[in-house]
Structure 1
Amino acid sequence: MSDTNKASVAKFGGRGLNIAIVVAAAVTVAGLALWGVQLSGGLVQTGMRNLDSWGLYITMFMFLVGLSAGGLIISSVPRAFGMKGFGGISKIAVWTSVCCTVLAVGFVVVDLGQPLRLWELFAYSNLGSPLMWDIAVISIYLILSIVYLWATLRAETGKVSGKALRVISVIALITAVLVHSVTAWIFGLQQAHEFWHTALLAPWFVSSALVCGTALVLVVVIALRKVGYLRLDQAHVVKLAKMLGAFVTVDLYFFGCDLLTSGFPGGSGAEVVSMLVSGPLAPFFWVEVVGCVLCAVVCFVPKLRTNPLVVVASLLAIIGIFCKRVQLLVGGFQLPNLDYPGLVNRYTVTDWASGMAGAYQGMVYWPTPLEFGVALGVIGLGALLLLLGLKFLPLRPVDQVRR
């Protein structure tokens, strides 16, 4: 390694990294304090109500599961199929996957209202419910991600065979696809919600995971390359960017198919399309579409594939997929499925004072400052885990480790 790279690595692992760890820890502690406020006052302090019982926490859960699964897929596919990898980014991709999975579980915990309800999920579980399928597959997925990272580290020292690592890669790949399929079925099997009840939801979730997972890996890898933590040939960045462009295109295609089927004259989902294109969720819809199109343009045009623009394109893709998650979750509640609810008050709908017509005139749900604070605290936990891993875990390729 050159003296310049050595200096960059020393700088990365020095005071700047320690300050970032302290900041992330402080944000995490602040989030825990706000969660304590939520526990003492109850979920009524949030914007969620009976008729829109999921909100920012479950949106972030869906989003983070996608980030996690995408990262693990990027890492496991080359090994599973005997393909050439992406220049030693496997361990970093798996670690980001582990961090995102921990955050996804954290958002489920804060959404439950009381942490002791985790015990009730297992003690009184209904194994016929997709919710329990999701809990089971995410638990297996988290354990498997950690095992996969451990096996990768052991394989570098010759203590795990290449064949065994390939078998683990195949299992990890299948589990990553299952995670998103099962999460999609939680929504898709609910016939009472027009926006959710579609067989396309599972492949749509998988394609979105590939988009935001690849984008996250690109952002992290380019940032680590910039600070000297990782040496990576530009050809690998270009290869990942092309993959991101392909994944974005497929995801937009699925979205277009769903919109065309729903909005075609005589279709039953015209109200859904109107809600997205020109209704309360239109800002999220157009941010997703425009952002993903711009991302694809950057990824496919060689002259635009500079590292700064690739980072911008990746961030646009991540923001776009987050907007898609908002559309999905809020959109499922935006169209009321109860014609004559028995009671309208502050416990049933968010904007209850103006009645049902007023409550559904705009967005039926919007997070409260408390929810934003708790969510920021959970994200701070993820940043803390990522930074600690970069500081203490051997995530760089063996040939790049400083002697």
Structure 2
Amino acid sequence: MSENTSAAKPASAPTAKFGGKGLTIGIVVAALVAAVGVVLWGIQLTGGLVQTGMRNFDSWGLYITSFMFLVGLSAGGLIISSVPRAFGMKGFGGISKVAVWTSICCTVLAIAFVVIDLGHPLRLWELFAYSNLGSPLMWDIIVLSAYLILSIVYLWATIRFEGGKGSEKSLRVISVVALVCAILVHSVTAWIFGLLPGHEFWYTALLAPWFVTSALVCGVSLVLVVVIVLRHVGYMQLDQQNIVKMVKMLGVFIMVDLYFFGCDLLTAGFPGGSGAETVAMLVFGPLAPFFWIEIIGCLVAALVCFVPKLRTNPLIVIAAVLAIVGIFCKRVQLLVGGFQIPNLDYANAMSPYTVTDWSAGMLGAYQGMVYWPTPLEFGVTMGVFGLGVLMLLLGLKFLPLKPNEQSH
């Protein structure tokens, strides 16, 4: 009862003032980080992908892991923005435009990682000129491109409607299409992995639901962090009851995501099951740190979401960050784990171009977790995320993302 009473009270007006010198400094720093990333990418283009930790044994690495992670962040943000309008429900206090803009930023970064992983931007032409429409990879490229366009259209339509120039019916139609596309883009991304029977950890029908629930977890978490920070610095005013609604929803998403994970682990690791080696690798093997960070972090985040006394804004931000980190660790487990236990015997031929630790002989090359990103990969990745922060800050400064009466 006390929770409902306190939640119903509007939040006090922020004392801070958004913008000014602090925002300018943030934009400059983010631009510098992005510029460093571009320089490092240029170095990668001149020397080739052999400068990364990826080899034939682990042909995907940090770039594709980040791609999967960012698609989840973008889809989650668009889903929580479009669901209230699509079903005629009460929203979350006018956060729709901010959520959609974060979704657009994450989608641009996801596409950037695909381009970087191709090895050269000119290969984009080859991707479309010699595309195989029967490949899930091509499905994902098509759906992701449509998703980005639709997100931009959705933001444009929302701004027009809140400016009194559009109809509520047309915006609701766009919301429904955006919701379907957000779910579809993550399902197609999951099928890239789930339709490959040659990898033990990927070939599961649960992968698409996994990806959708993970997207909801990290997408809601990202929007929570952004909205709480923006309210703190005076960009927007938002009732605490709207924050609490999103926090409760985040707790449910976390538990559903852990439930799917538990179902898959139990099925694979049950005595006599074919995936016992995979489960052991996650729980006790080289991927155990990522596994336990995800499990413990998500459980702590769920505890904050479900215990009313813990729902203070600082703890909510910590819980949201733990959930985001947990989902990123889940992506690492999926991608790297899927390469560690292939269904085919390892090839005998070994060179610097086939495995990372080639100098240690066959035993060392194929022992433990082979892939680890090089400093160049970390630098390029930081540059891409710097671009995302730059886009977010520029949007907050120049786009009409602040809520108004129509936003509610």
Offset of residue 338 of structure 1: 3.3
> For the residues of structure 2 that align with 1:219 and 1:337, how far apart are their CA atoms?
41
Aligned to 1:40: 46
Offset of residue 223 of structure 1: 0.3
One of 331, 349, 355 as aligned partner of 2:361: 355
The Cα offsets for residues 36-65 of structure 1, whole Å up to 9 and x where unpaired, read as: 000000000000001110000000000000
Offset of residue 6 of structure 1: 8.2
Count of matched residue pairs: 396
Aligned: 1:21 with 2:52: no
Aligned to 1:138: 144
Contact 2:14 2:237 in 1 (8 A): no
Offset of residue 400 of structure 1: 10
The Cα offsets for residues 66-93 of structure 1, whole Å up to 9 and x where unpaired, read as: 0000000000000000000000000000
Aligned to 1:324: 330
Aligned: 1:222 with 2:228: yes
Contact 1:230 1:400 in 2 (8 A): no
The amino acid of 2:241's aligned partner reads A
TM-score (norm 1): 0.96
Aligned to 2:9: none
Contact 2:76 2:217 in 1 (8 A): yes
Aligned to 2:391: 385
Offset of residue 398 of structure 1: 1.9
- Structure 2 CA distance for partners of 1:216 and 1:126, relative to 1, 3 Å: same
- Structure 2 CA distance for partners of 1:337 and 1:355, relative to 1, 3 Å: farther
Unpaired runs of 5+ in structure 1?
Answer: none
> For the residues of structure 1 that align with 2:377 and 2:231, how far apart are their CA atoms?
34
> For the residues of structure 1 that align with 2:361 and 2:188, how far apart are their CA atoms?
36
> For the residues of structure 2 that align with 1:145 and 1:320, how far apart are their CA atoms?
26
Aligned: 1:254 with 2:260: yes
Offset of residue 158 of structure 1: 2.1
One of 8, 11, 17 as aligned partner of 2:16: 8
Contact 2:231 2:237 in 1 (8 A): yes
Aligned: 1:113 with 2:119: yes
Aligned: 1:306 with 2:312: yes
Aligned to 2:91: 85
Equivalences for residues 204-219 of structure 1 within 5 A: 204-219=210-225
Aligned: 1:52 with 2:58: yes
Structure 1 SS opposite 2:94? coil
Identical counterparts, % of pairs = 77
Offset of residue 357 of structure 1: 2.6
Contact 2:37 2:379 in 1 (8 A): yes
Aligned: 1:166 with 2:172: yes
Contact 1:181 1:202 in 2 (8 A): yes
The amino acid of 2:301's aligned partner reads C
The Cα offsets for residues 292-338 of structure 1, whole Å up to 9 and x where unpaired, read as: 00000000000000000000000000000000000000001111443
Offset of residue 399 of structure 1: 4.3
> For the residues of structure 1 that align with 2:270 and 2:39, how far apart are their CA atoms?
49
Aligned: 1:292 with 2:307: no
Contact 2:14 2:233 in 1 (8 A): no
Aligned to 2:287: 281
> For the residues of structure 2 that align with 1:340 and 1:120, how far apart are their CA atoms?
30
Contact 2:162 2:406 in 1 (8 A): no
The amino acid of 2:170's aligned partner reads A
The amino acid of 1:146's aligned partner reads I
Aligned: 1:125 with 2:116: no
TM-score (norm 2): 0.95
The amino acid of 1:318's aligned partner reads I
Aligned to 1:156: 162
Offset of residue 5 of structure 1: 5.3
One of 271, 277, 281 as aligned partner of 1:271: 277
The amino acid of 1:364's aligned partner reads V
Structure 2 SS opposite 1:370? helix
The Cα offsets for residues 134-155 of structure 1, whole Å up to 9 and x where unpaired, read as: 0000000000000000000000
Contact 2:294 2:325 in 1 (8 A): yes
The amino acid of 2:251's aligned partner reads G
> For the residues of structure 2 that align with 1:37 and 1:277, how far apart are their CA atoms?
37
What is the aligned-residue RMSD (CA, Å)?
1.3
> For the residues of structure 1 that align with 2:289 and 2:43, how far apart are their CA atoms?
31
Offset of residue 340 of structure 1: 4.4
The Cα offsets for residues 329-382 of structure 1, whole Å up to 9 and x where unpaired, read as: 000111144314141111011111223331232211000000000000000000
The amino acid of 1:166's aligned partner reads R
Contact 2:217 2:253 in 1 (8 A): yes
Superposition misfits of 4+ residues, deviation over 6 angstroms: none
Aligned to 1:245: 251
> For the residues of structure 2 that align with 1:226 and 1:335, how far apart are their CA atoms?
47
Aligned to 1:234: 240
Structure 1 SS opposite 2:16? helix
